[in-house]
Chains A and B, each alone.
Chain A
């Protein structure tokens, strides 16, 4: 299934870059280039071949691990993109980690104290988190923690391998900004799932067997309530890869989102193709893992 998805994605990506109203040769040589120079370049790049042939060549190269050469820098796109992906994933992993640590307990508290003060507070905070776009929260965060308090650096990226402490310090703000939206999202999900599960017959049956409420929650309710959360988290990875562009831009983190924007602005076709394909692949793989995990936790589900 995953191979199939990626094949379709590669087709779409290639098609879109073909439709884009830009001629790669014109882009590279500028508006004033002579026709001969353009034709010569087209020939070396294979742009004069029929579209399906271009696609086949590209796909063949991709399968061999060669994602093409950047029109902008003249360097191979693959290594640059994967490096950027690594930085984005680092950001994503920290954000998801922080989110899980906070969102799940918040959701549980809200569900158990349904209708009480705690629930209302959690709900309000989550709504605020969902409602505020990341550039607003990011700006506010930079303003408060970097500008006024001077606790954290406002922007920048330091590889963890270079200076671990400094790298972490630079990650704190972006991770928090991304987490706020995810926390809002996931805690609401956990809450509504848990509320549903707590009303099922088997929870009542467990309570009426004399199992204490804490035990019922831990053994019976949470497992079932957290299952759909896995799916939500996997879908959020899609957001992390795409929506994170804004955050990467604000905090000047050279992640894959930022690379892609640069590539789009420069109409760097191989880079765009490679970036989108890598994002789609990451997304598919994460969701595939989530499905496997789901089936492993819920034995009723079987995949062929």
Chain B
């Protein structure tokens, strides 16, 4: 391909995209101007619905049938992709421009081996035979840091971990030395430590090949670490673009400043360390273990031995009144399992002391316990009944635990408490935004005036700015009511801001419980240190 050093590999000029909907055209992208040079990483940052993924589909020419393009050009080394036929694009995709997707567990075909899926790109674009492609695939897998490439080729997707799968996806994106690669949130679905490794791999491969990269993310801190330039997108338009330094030190637009401010900064603590540890804590978790797996009927009959999966392994934990205890750990570490055990959703062995009462199993959790211990889940979409109005949803805990008199007024007050207008009571969940729905879930949890609220990843489905406001709300409620929180998250930066103490979990075990401001202390456990190192530093480094 003939392009000089200065000419951008990918240039988007005055590009607009509309979706035709029943309510008239929806302007998904508005006169976008972007350019990526060889060897450059352009970070595209925006919240959900901002159009960042639409832009990726436009570049790949993979648009739904209701997409209309009123104008503009997308140039790949001078070739306007808008003028290419589908057949021509098929030869471009994977060879000249390729893509790495968000979730490796859904972007790989579950019924084809990893090797088949990798080598088909080589067969298609490099004209290799299957045997050659398989050999080349092994070399590629070795190149992306997989220890046993030959075996990995034969594995099915479900036999590989998320990180390994993402390495395979990356290998197939780099397989034909494309001119440009689009990375669509490639680490969002991965653990902290794995995503750090994937990111390092990306930076290494990118430097080695000099491929022009468009790195799409909602995470400013992450982009700050990888990209050379950043473009901020909002409601389909580029708000601001410039070098990472410029954007972080001297953001020109109010929206950019908001975004930067919303990124959690562990150095900026939002709570005072004023919790007194007493001899009588609110909750004392004693040797709580959770095992999964039930003996199948026949195994029970024949007395066959069965391996149980350990969800939690003899956890000991204390939560004081009015304390915010953070629980961190990668997925599968048993964070949510513990939360479910404490709310009676999982069977457990061991004991839980709550407010001086002994709880040995979920049958000991009576109405009084449930009133005092409430849980908020990650996805408000899943935890709010779509067929009930907000007023019905909020009236349940009032009828169950409180006094059911003057429900309308109480519900209105609850909504106001979580900064929602009283009129929302007549709406259905789907009429609210993600942040609003989570506020309703918070209001529901607080309706019974609980002593402990378990927050299970409640902000991870939300945008950064929405997350910031939800966290602010939670802290206000905590100040007003003195409720203790068990705050489960994988966002270390966030939890360092808001927790008094942090419990670190790994594969069902509790590694340690430390004070939040001492978690980066060098004499922490190995795993804690690795976690802290893996987390992208916040934007603060540029300020």
Contacts and interface: CB of A to CB of B under 8 A. Distances in A.
A35 interface: no
A209 B98 contact: yes
A202 B101 CA distance: 10
Interface string A182-213: 00000000000000000011111111111111
Interface string B32-71: 0000000000000000000000000000101000000000
Contacts of B107: 201-202, 204-205
Nearest to B107: A205
B299 interface: yes
Could you say which interface size class chain B belongs to? 20 to 34
Contacts of A223: 111-112
Interface string A60-79: 00000000000000000000
Contacts of A209: 93-94, 98, 120-121, 124, 172
Given A201-B101, A201-B103, A207-B62, A212 B90 contact: yes
Given A298-B111, A300-B110, A304-B299, A208 B156 contact: no
B120 A219 contact: yes
B91 interface: yes
Contacts of A300: 110, 156, 158
B124 A205 contact: no
Contact of A210 (B112, B125, B158): B125
B307 to A, nearest CB: 12
Contacts of B108: 202, 205
B95 interface: yes
Contacts of A204: 62, 107
B111 A224 contact: yes
B278 interface: no
Interface in B99-126: 99, 101, 103, 106-112, 117, 120-121, 124-125
Contacts of B124: 209-212, 215
Interface in A248-304: 297-300, 304
B111 A208 contact: no
Contacts of B103: 201
A207 B296 contact: no
Given A201-B107, A207-B62, A209-B121, A220 B112 contact: yes
A299 B108 CA distance: 14
Nearest to A304: B296
Contact of A208 (B93, B106, B109, B117): B93
A297 B111 contact: yes
Contact of A299 (B90, B125, B156): B156
B99 A208 contact: yes
Contacts of B94: 208-211
Contacts of A206: 109, 117, 120
B120 A208 contact: no
B353 interface: no
Most buried by A among B60, B98, B110, B299: B110
Interface string B151-175: 0000010100000000001001000
A304 B106 CA distance: 26
A302 to B, nearest CB: 10
Most buried by B among A202, A207, A224, A299: A202
A298 B109 CA distance: 11
Most buried by B among A1, A211, A224: A211
Contacts of B101: 201, 205
B472 to A, nearest CB: 34
Nearest to B173: A209
B428 interface: no
A223 B158 CA distance: 16
B92 interface: yes
A201 B108 CA distance: 8
A219 B112 CA distance: 9
Contacts of B99: 205, 208
A109 B165 CA distance: 33
Nearest to B117: A206
Interface in A35-53: none
A1 B302 CA distance: 13
Given A208-B99, A209-B121, A200 B106 contact: yes
Most buried by A among B91, B99, B109: B109
Contacts of B172: 209
B111 A299 contact: yes
Contacts of B92: 210
A249 to B, nearest CB: 40
A304 B296 CA distance: 9
Nearest to B175: A209
A224 B98 contact: no
A213 B124 CA distance: 12
A112 to B, nearest CB: 13
Most buried by B among A201, A203, A227: A201
A300 B156 CA distance: 8
B345 to A, nearest CB: 26
A210 B91 contact: yes
A294 to B, nearest CB: 11
Contacts of A207: 62, 93
Contacts of A203: 109
Nearest to A209: B94
A201 B99 CA distance: 12
Most buried by A among B60, B103, B107, B298: B107
A125 to B, nearest CB: 25
Contacts of B158: 299-300
A208 B62 contact: yes
13 contacts: A202-B106, A202-B110, A205-B108, A208-B93, A208-B99, A209-B93, A210-B91, A210-B98, A211-B90, A212-B124, A298-B110, A300-B156, A304-B298
Interface of A: 1, 200-213, 215, 219-220, 223-224, 227, 297-300, 304
Interface of B: 60, 62, 90-95, 98-99, 101, 103, 106-112, 117, 120-121, 124-125, 156, 158, 169, 172, 296, 298-299
Given A200-B106, A209-B124, A210-B125, 10 more contacts: A201-B103, A201-B106, A202-B107, A208-B99, A210-B94, A211-B94, A211-B121, A219-B112, A298-B111, A304-B298
